[in-house]
Amino acid sequence: MKKKVVVFSQIDLEILEKLQEKYQVSIINPKLGDVNAQILREVKDADGLIGAGRLLNEGNLSSATQLKVISSVSVGYDNYDLNYLNNKKILLCNTPHVLTESTADLAFTLLMSAARKVPSLDRWVKNGEWKRTVGTEQFGLDIHGKTIGIIGLGHIGAAIARRGFYGFNMNILYHNRKPKLEVAQSLNAQYCELNDLLKRADFIVVAVDLNAESKALISEKEFNLMQKHAVIINISRGSVIDETALIEALKNKKIFAAGLDVYETEPLQSSELFHLDNVVTLPHIGSATTSTRKKMAELAYQNLVDVLEGKQPQYIVNKEISAIE
């Protein structure tokens, strides 16, 4: 008898076909009603789950009797209740590294767009307001040769630093739990305490994991340390920045601009951010290129298959649980 896999979000069609060839597959469909009720019903006899972007916890997993693995098509895992999964000995797998370069590209897209006022000037032209030579209100900021401060020098943070150093001749500052000398040396990057970085950087990029220490890492106190021409970019998780404090900093011109791909609440349906010209808002698309999403889906598929075949998958979040019984 085939093992059962529940697909709880949209997934690459080729990967879905491969799953259907190998397993009994149930697909969660928001058009068919309450998603959590569907998950609760389908996981009763499921061996594995695959997907991304859903909150999974005791509320929608409690009916599971033989669930071995949740394979997430993502790097972040703050939407999964790790304590519950650990208690139930359910493996959580993710897809790090394959999205590093795409996400770093997106960080620089936000940085350049915010610095040069791209979205507001795009609207300005399309609204027919370009009637004369641009004035100081349309002026942006230089990027080349400026100082970029990266909070979190992991794989993505290092990729952003490389773009700044080699592409824009930027001075690199970074803050991390501990210095990363090997990465920093090749980029002439300087380790700083957080407050020092915030005071010195022209551009600040937040690239940390969301955890108890990083929640609201950037709040009113931190915004008050930044330079008035500073631009802050967030490609990590929305809750790392206090959104209310960010809005106040933008409204009161404490900083020049912000570029955001993540938010405290997603999808973002209404916000004061929508009424501000000095913020670029994107819909959490850090990894959203055709090639990268394909690679992520393939890796998630392989993680799932490995666990269901009794092998050790490449990437496990809760490593204290073994995939091999």
Enumerate residues 6+ apart whose C-beta is below 8 A from 137. none
Which carries the bigger pLDDT value, residue 324 or residue 38? Answer: 38
87 and 105 assigned to the same domain: no
How does residue 325 score in pLDDT terms, banded at 50, 70 and 90?
A: low
DSSP assignments along 230-290, one per residue: -EEEE-S-GGGB-HHHHHHHHHTTSSSEEEES--SSSS----GGGG-TTEEE--S-TT-SH
Contact residues for 280 (Cβ-Cβ < 8 A; gap 6+): 110, 113, 114, 118, 119, 257, 258, 259, 260
Residue 48 lies in a domain: yes
Instruction: Answer yes or no: do 74 and 146 share one domain.
Output: no
Q: Rounded to an integer, what distance in angstroms lies between the CA atom of residue 284 and that of residue 288? A: 8
The span from the CA of 73 to the CA of 70, in Å, is: 10
Confirm whether 317 is domain-assigned.
no
CA nearest to 303, candidates 5, 8, 2: 5
Number of domains in the chain: 2
Q: What is the pLDDT of residues 17-41, one digit of tens each?
A: 999 999 999 999 999 999 999 999 9
Q: Is the domain of 260 the same as that of 302?
A: no
Report the C-alpha gap between 28 and 30 in whole angstroms: 7
Q: How confident is the model at residue 323 (pLDDT cuts 50, 70, 90)?
A: low
pLDDT of residue 210: 86
Contact 69/307 with Cβ under 8 angstroms? yes
Closest by alpha carbon to 281, among 153, 119, 151?
Answer: 119
Averaged confidence pLDDT in the chain: 96
Residue 234's pLDDT is 98
316: helix, coil or strand? strand
- Helices (H), ranges, 170-235: 181-187, 194-200, 220-225
The proportion of the chain whose per-residue pLDDT surpasses 70, expressed as a percent, equals 99
- Residue at 324 is within a domain: no
Determine the Cα–Cα distance for residues 254 and 227; give it in Å rounded to an integer: 8
Same domain, 232 and 141: yes
Q: What is the pLDDT of residues 270-295, one digit of tens each?
A: 999 999 999 999 999 999 999 999 99
For 219-256, write each residue's pLDDT tens digit.
Answer: 999 999 999 999 999 999 999 999 999 999 999 999 99
Instruction: State whether 200 and 155 are in the same domain.
Output: yes
Determine, yes or no, domain membership for 322: no
Is 31 inside any structural domain? Answer: yes
pTM of the model: 0.89
Domain match, 300 and 179 both: no
In a domain, 167, yes or no: yes
The pLDDT assigned to 324 comes to 55
Question: 176 and 247, same structural domain?
Answer: yes
What is the DSSP code (8-state) at residue 317? S
Asked if residue 53 has pLDDT above 70, the reply is yes
Task: Determine the pLDDT at residue 167.
Answer: 97
pLDDT in tens, 164-197: 999 999 999 999 999 999 999 999 999 999 999 9
Please give the pLDDT value at position 1. 87
Catalytic residues: 237, 266, 284
Q: Does residue 45 carry a pLDDT above 60?
A: yes
Specify whether 67 is located in the same domain as 195: no
Same domain, 147 and 273: yes
For residue 52, the SS3 value is coil
Across the range 76-86, mean pLDDT stands at 94
Alpha-carbon separation of residue 81 from 45, 188, 279 (angstroms):
20, 39, 32
Bridge partners (DSSP) listed for residue 93 = 71, 316
Residue 325 maps to a domain: no
pLDDT of residue 23: 98
| Cis previous bond, 119, omega within 30 | no
In a domain, residue 314? The reply is no
Instruction: Identify the domain containing residue 159 by its residue range.
Output: 100-281
Same-domain check for residues 125 and 270 = yes
CATH number at residue 220: 3.40.50.720
Local structure of 21: helix, strand or coil: helix
Q: Are residues 19 and 162 both part of a single domain? A: no
Q: How confident is the model at residue 321 (pLDDT cuts 50, 70, 90)?
A: confident
For residue range 130-144, what is the model confidence (pLDDT) as tens digits?
A: 999 999 999 999 999
Do 274 and 301 share a domain, yes or no?
Answer: no
Q: Which of 62, 64, 69 is nearest to 45 (CA)?
A: 64
Question: What pLDDT is attached to residue 320?
Answer: 85
Instruction: Supply 24's token pair.
Output: 């009994």
